[in-house]
Amino acid sequence: MSANMSPIDKAKFVAAKRACDYVQDGMKLGLGTGSTAAWLVRCLGEMVRDNGLKIKGVPTSSRTAELARQVGIEVISLDEAKWLDLTIDGADEYDHDLNLIKGGGGALLQEKIVATASDQMIVITDGSKRVESLGNFPLPVEVIPFGWQTSKALIEEVLVGMDVLGTTASLRMNADAPYVTDEGNHILDLHLNRIGNARQLSLVLNQIPGVVENGLFIDICDIVVTGYGDGRVEVQDINNGEHDETRYDFLDDDNLFADLGD
């Protein structure tokens, strides 16, 4: 691996590389969305090309599907797969119980559907995403376009009674227009600063008319693989309580990931 990579890219790469150890021939995999998940897709593509790995991937976004096809991974729909052996994805935040905030890349709805249709979910991330309490990263909430301002007002009203430090929501934009998800919806980002009871908040948000889904992933993640810029990788398995650490050495040579940025 090139020594010219930035520390953050090294952290993402080693996390993705370590997560590949969980992938077995013949698996049906959920493929996440975001910069860290993109490293995973490239690593899996290398295994398909060089090692003859046979897998089928269910992408969580159109851009992940495009990348998977580019690197030679067979892409199928979740309806075709019916059920998945494993989903590997990134996260915007995770706490000590492996609860997550996801959706910074706008794919939270498909990500949650795919993750919950899997025997196991692994999150790959860097050390900056570990937090004592969720909420510093804005919580994405996907809403239908019709009446989104009403949905926003209802959400902000509900937040007043929740155990959070902030109660404002903002419409996510793409240049001068509202951001549109793969499902044709909008995203409201909730600026909460701290979430005291993530489980309660998730349940309450999903009861609001117009809300499709929120970015809190509670009791879904089984393993977090955390990479660091010096090549260290920590693995935390919530089911068996195991915590181990490995290290990758980087060589000064060319690699197929050199063109992959954030």
Q: What is the pLDDT of residues 72-112, one digit of tens each?
A: 999 999 999 999 999 999 999 999 999 999 999 999 999 99
* For residue 36, pLDDT beyond 80: yes
Q: What is the pLDDT of residue 1?
A: 47
Residue range(s) of every CATH 3.40.50.1360 domain in the chain: 7-130+219-247
Specify the pairing of strand 86-89 against strand 28-31: parallel
List 46, 66, 93, 111, catalytic entry: 111
Q: 142: which strand partners?
A: 187, 213
Binding-site annotation, residues: 33-36, 89-92, 102-105, 129
pLDDT per residue as tens digits for the range 206-245: 999 999 999 999 999 999 999 999 999 999 999 988 899 9
Residue range(s) of every CATH 3.30.70.260 domain in the chain: 139-213
- Which residues have C-beta within 8 Å of that of residue 190, sequence separation ≥ 6? 138, 139, 140, 141, 155, 159, 166, 168, 169
Alpha-carbon distance of 133 to 118, in angstroms, equals: 26
Q: What is the pLDDT of residue 77?
A: 98
Helix (H, G, I), strand (E, B) or coil at 111: helix
Residue range 164-192: average pLDDT?
Answer: 98
Q: 195: which strand partners?
A: 164
Task: Tell me if 148 sits within 8 A of 210, measured CB to CB.
Answer: yes
Alpha-carbon distance of 259 to 234, in angstroms, equals: 26
Alpha-carbon distance of 30 to 186, in angstroms, equals: 23
Q: What is the pLDDT of residue 250?
A: 63
* For residue 253, pLDDT beyond 60: no
Gyration radius (Cα) of the chain, Å:
18
pTM, to two decimals: 0.92
* For residue 262, pLDDT beyond 50: no
* For residue 256, pLDDT beyond 60: no
Clarify whether 80 is annotated catalytic.
no
139-213: CATH architecture: 2-Layer Sandwich (3.30)
Alpha-carbon distance of 262 to 257, in angstroms, equals: 12
Q: What is the pLDDT of residue 258?
A: 43
Q: 126: which strand partners?
A: 227
- Provide the CB-side half-sphere exposure for 127 (13 A, CA): 12
Binding-site annotation, residues for substrate: 33-36, 89-92, 102-105, 129
pLDDT per residue as tens digits for the range 137-162: 999 999 999 999 999 999 999 999 99
CATH topology of domain 7-130+219-247: Rossmann fold (3.40.50)
Cα 137 → chain centroid: 13
